[in-house]
Structure 1
Amino acid sequence: MKQLKTDICVIGAGSGGLSVAAGAVQMGARVVLVEGHKMGGDCLNYGCIPSKSLLASARHAHAMTTGGEFGITPVTPQIDYAAAKDHVARVVETIAPVDSQDRFEKLGCIVLRDWARFISPDEIQVGETRVRARRFVIATGSSPLVPPIDGLDGVPYHTNETIFSLRERPDHLLIVGGGPIGMEMAQAHRRLGCKVTVIEGSRALGHDDPEMAAIVLERLRDEGIEIVEHTEAEKISGHDGDITVETGKGTFHGSHLLIAVGRKVNIDRLDLLKGQVAHDRAVTVGEDLRSPTNRRVYAVGDCAGGLHFTHVANYHAGIVVRSAVLGLPFVRAKTHHLPWTTYTDPELAHVGMTEAQARDKFGGNFQIVRFEYDENDRAVAEGRVTGHIKVLVNRGKPVGATIAGSQAGELIAMWAMALANGQKMTAIANTVLPYPTLSEINKRAAGAYFSPRLFDTPAVKRVVGLVQRFLP
């Protein structure tokens, strides 16, 4: 049995774990990195990168059918579904070296490729190797949650871990789950020539502002996607190429099935009880991302509970590096400034509070300001006029923003920066932006906040009158 001693042992080579390992080893810490499956984790292999790559293929196909208003004769694209999947594979292959074992070994990490489990509070076993560490970072991510639907275990189905390997284009894709993964895959497959039905037990895009989500859902329905909300999949039957989903609102037939109802944190293999690491559905941690029952242990990303996003895992990694590597006290993870985006077309992006949350906290002591895409010159020029921005303001500071529209994921960055740094609306209003750009939507939203104070106030008009009377 081989034994290793190290400063930091990172369990999981997804986005969060790789960020911790890279930061720690380059600062001089001894690092052991453990991965039992694929380097790069879910984001590289099954999540963010493959899904955005497939959406890119779908966007090109859709553009060929919608050029009429620009003077381009629409044509029916000849879609090679397998070739679109080749594009996905090439993108993953291009990015993979950044997350590879070879790169991290060259950085100075010891990389162990096997599953880890705790055998004591300060030791894990990885295959035939035992690792004793001063600090452990659990970064094992999450996997698709497969619900206990009657009959599901007897039919072929896909999750995000298998759908990108599918080479045969589905005639009719049934999707159980109307969250971001479900809706992104629905639009991608519809634009690539599939019939698509989405079945959602609650409200589609239910974690987002209902008013703003409705803008996206209307577009998806206009493109021919059937979205059935507020009904559970009660029973599933069939075989390869012929799947039936029974619900309280009817029976749906399709050729393929995608399960996209949520995520399950990957902690079952870790034997956390032997490590004295408290946990429930995720590792129990405080704002410092440390286990209260074993202070040697940190958790980042999905394992720490909360929002399941790659950028959150990377943010957590920065917190852990400052604490576990640099020994900085009072380092805490916050959540109020963490954005997210659903990459449909139009996109749906959010940061901070929703309107409902603002009402719970502030009562009526906040304002809502809006600006429409169809009043932005760049959006008009490009025919991207669907959508608007909605900003919540309390005492001159933005406390939440939601954008539904073209490049919403890019535009939300300005509001994420404002919330992270406690900036006021004046910081947005005073920013000079190039014309014509979509980013002016943000500035015009800030202007919509100040306009009533400047143009609709009798006192301001009286002052201006006096100034003009006596100005030399």
Structure 2
Amino acid sequence: MIGAGSAGLVSAYIAAGAKAKVTLVEANRMGGDCLNFGCVPSKALIGSAKAAHQMRNAHRYGLRPVEPNIPFSAVMERVHEVIAEIEPHDSIERYTALGVEVLQGYAKLIDPWTVEIALSSGETQRLTTRAIVIATGAQPFVPPIPGIEDVGFLTSDTLWDGLRDRPEAPKRLVVLGGGPIGCELAQSFARLGSKVTQIEMAPRLMMREDVDASGLVEASLRSDGVRVLTGHKAVACGVDAGSKWIEVENDGDRQRIEFDDMIAAVGRSPRLKGFGLEELGIKTDRVVATNAYLQTLHPNILAAGDVAGPYQFTHVAGHQAWFATINALFGDIRRFRADYRVIPWATFTDPEVARVGLSETEAKEKNIPHEVTRFGNDDLDRAIADGSPGGFVKVLTVPGKDRILGATIVGDHAGDLLAEFVFAMKHGHGLGKILGTIHIYPTRAEANKMVAGQWRRNHLNGVLLSLLERFQTWRRG
């Protein structure tokens, strides 16, 4: 396995469990992007930012609001403490104990069965193997804006060390990008004291989500003080008299925005270079070209995770790793197609946005027949009691049937609540099964049952109800 992120670690775990002889090669840090630069540190930052937000808005709970004193360096130190606490799960020691040989260095394919490793010690080692899993992940994409290198910038990979010793959050922060990463970071830094300007070229934030979902996120960001500039294209950067600036364009009008720090969060591109793929004729366009079994041009060389696409999620990387590993070990006996039928994801803004399957926008664009059933959290007892009744649960179903085509949840703990719909879709259960399942009162999970109940009310049999009414009237005499 080349790469010790989610895909590489899961592959190594499965292969070792199957009693294969396994070598895992990592050039940087065990745990890959998710542990060190992405999922883990960003959620730790979000946790601190949310606590500061709750202090400012304590009046919602009958308490006296206070302006939090934010020692930013301590916040960032906590981020690194969280990484360190989770790190043993992905450590060299753990995987060595599982029977995996872990080598730190850069791996390159010499031929389909030989890997050369430039070890961090300076030595070079060659290994021969029956199968190889490419799991090299992705890296932040830096937009080609003139002058961007001159002003300097941070990415989701570099900001955790770059801002670690700052006593205060950046005073004037520009966040390039209106996707999940950009929105999470823009909101968090605004809540921690930065004056944030978020720049997005598209007409709205979070374009992959429905308008009603992204609209709630944008409204929340604005209420937190983020200056959201959608429909604005960054065209130039520069430094004048020691002051950094970025120029944006909207409908032919240009404006300059001065800043102290800038985070480029416009997406991630797979790591494709330097591993010998080109020399072996393995195609690499946006991702490593694979078939349905995650095999490349050479069937014993497979790819999984961000480098393979089509999704860039940690949980999908782990999901792919199972298929890649099983096909690598036993593909000559039986192969398994990677299954992308039910792929969930979430954006951990406040409110959270979680989705699985079709969105309403996609269904309309693709002319897929569907019904929409919606339940608002403003009618959910637990949400009202928690003081956060915003958001909704929206489910798309086959017309006249309860089979779920997709679900979107917006609100607190949306990512957790989505699991019930993921399970239902994966195993072919409809809304009727959810409605017939006991949900604890009062919990947020009741919203899932409520939307199922709303679907049922929308499909009551009018003829049967009329007969029941006549029957009950007859019984009463």
TM class, shorter-length: over 0.9
Secondary structure of 1:349's counterpart equals: strand
Do residues 110 (structure 1) and 110 (structure 2) align? no
Q: Which residue of 2 aligns with 1:237?
A: 238
Q: Which residue of 1 aligns with 2:142?
A: 146
Aligned equivalents of 1:240, 1:399: Cα separation in 2: 56
**Structure 1 residue ranges (4+ consecutive) displaced by more than 6 angstroms after TM superposition:** none
User: Which among 262, 268, 272 is matched to residue 263 of structure 1?
Assistant: 268
Is the 2:3–2:27 Cα contact (8 Å) retained in structure 1? yes
Is the 2:343–2:357 Cα contact (8 Å) retained in structure 1? yes
Matches within 5 A, 1:71-86: 71-86=62-77
Aligned equivalents of 1:210, 1:325: Cα separation in 2: 44
Instruction: Identify if the C-alpha distance between structure 1 residues 460 and 239 changes in structure 2 by more than 3 Å, giving closer, same or farther.
Output: farther
Query: Which amino acid letter does the alignment assign opposite residue 385 of structure 1?
Result: P
Query: Which amino acid letter does the alignment assign opposite residue 73 of structure 2?
Result: A
Aligned equivalents of 1:18, 1:211: Cα separation in 2: 37
**TM-score, scaled to structure 1:** 0.94
User: Which among 75, 97, 100 is matched to residue 91 of structure 2?
Assistant: 100
Q: Which residue of 2 aligns with 1:438?
A: 444
User: Which among 39, 44, 50 is matched to residue 48 of structure 1?
Assistant: 39
Matches within 5 A, 1:197-208: 197-202=197-202, 203-208=204-209
Is the 1:277–1:297 Cα contact (8 Å) retained in structure 2? no
Deviations, residues 63-117 of structure 1 (Å, cap 9, x unaligned) = 1111113221001110010000011000000111111112111211111111111
Is the 2:131–2:329 Cα contact (8 Å) retained in structure 1? no
Q: Cα distance, 1:241 vs. partner?
A: 7.8
Aligned equivalents of 2:365, 2:200: Cα separation in 1: 27
Matches within 5 A, 1:125-204: 125-127=116-118, 128-165=124-161, 166=163, 167-168=165-166, 169-202=169-202, 203-204=204-205
Q: Which residue of 1 aligns with 2:4?
A: 13
Aligned equivalents of 2:240, 2:22: Cα separation in 1: 48
Matches within 5 A, 1:209-228: 209-228=210-229
Q: Which residue of 1 aligns with 2:121?
A: none
Aligned equivalents of 1:467, 1:453: Cα separation in 2: 21
Query: Which amino acid letter does the alignment assign opposite residue 246 of structure 2?
Result: V
Q: Which residue of 1 aligns with 2:417?
A: 411
Query: Which amino acid letter does the alignment assign opposite residue 462 of structure 1?
Result: S
Aligned equivalents of 1:260, 1:330: Cα separation in 2: 37
Instruction: Please give the root-mean-square deviation of Cα atoms over the aligned residues, in Å.
Output: 1.7
Aligned equivalents of 1:323, 1:380: Cα separation in 2: 49
The number of residue pairs the alignment matches comes to 459
Aligned equivalents of 2:301, 2:146: Cα separation in 1: 39
Aligned equivalents of 1:122, 1:369: Cα separation in 2: 53
Deviations, residues 112-148 of structure 1 (Å, cap 9, x unaligned) = 1111111112212111111211111010100000111
Secondary structure of 2:459's counterpart equals: helix
Unaligned runs of 5+ in 2: 119-123
Q: Which residue of 2 aligns with 1:4?
A: none
Instruction: Identify if the C-alpha distance between structure 1 residues 339 and 407 changes in structure 2 by more than 3 Å, giving closer, same or farther.
Output: same
Deviations, residues 182-230 of structure 1 (Å, cap 9, x unaligned) = 1101111011111100001113111111221101111111111011011
User: Which among 275, 280, 289 is matched to residue 275 of structure 1?
Assistant: 280
Query: Which amino acid letter does the alignment assign opposite residue 208 of structure 1?
Result: E
Q: Cα distance, 1:360 vs. partner?
A: 4.3
Aligned equivalents of 1:336, 1:178: Cα separation in 2: 27
Instruction: Identify if the C-alpha distance between structure 1 residues 414 and 235 changes in structure 2 by more than 3 Å, giving closer, same or farther.
Output: same
Do residues 32 (structure 1) and 23 (structure 2) align? yes
Q: Cα distance, 1:240 vs. partner?
A: 11
Q: Which residue of 1 aligns with 2:455?
A: 449
Q: Cα distance, 1:469 vs. partner?
A: 5.5
Q: Which residue of 2 aligns with 1:334?
A: 339
Q: Which residue of 2 aligns with 1:304?
A: 308
Instruction: Identify if the C-alpha distance between structure 1 residues 463 and 288 changes in structure 2 by more than 3 Å, giving closer, same or farther.
Output: farther
Aligned equivalents of 2:241, 2:141: Cα separation in 1: 21
**TM-score, scaled to structure 2:** 0.93
Is the 2:132–2:328 Cα contact (8 Å) retained in structure 1? no
Is the 1:121–1:276 Cα contact (8 Å) retained in structure 2? no
Secondary structure of 2:278's counterpart equals: coil
Query: Which amino acid letter does the alignment assign opposite residue 243 of structure 1?
Result: K
Q: Cα distance, 1:343 vs. partner?
A: 0.4
Deviations, residues 238-270 of structure 1 (Å, cap 9, x unaligned) = 289832110114211111110111101011111
Worse overlay, 18-27 or 273-282: 273-282
Aligned equivalents of 1:246, 1:434: Cα separation in 2: 52
Q: Cα distance, 1:305 vs. partner?
A: 1.5
Q: Cα distance, 1:361 vs. partner?
A: 4.4
Is the 2:5–2:136 Cα contact (8 Å) retained in structure 1? yes
Is the 1:243–1:257 Cα contact (8 Å) retained in structure 2? no
Deviations, residues 396-451 of structure 1 (Å, cap 9, x unaligned) = 21111111111111111111112212211111111110000000111111111110
Q: Cα distance, 1:362 vs. partner?
A: 4.8
Secondary structure of 1:129's counterpart equals: strand
Secondary structure of 1:248's counterpart equals: strand
Matches within 5 A, 1:356-395: 356-363=361-368, 365-394=369-398, 395=401
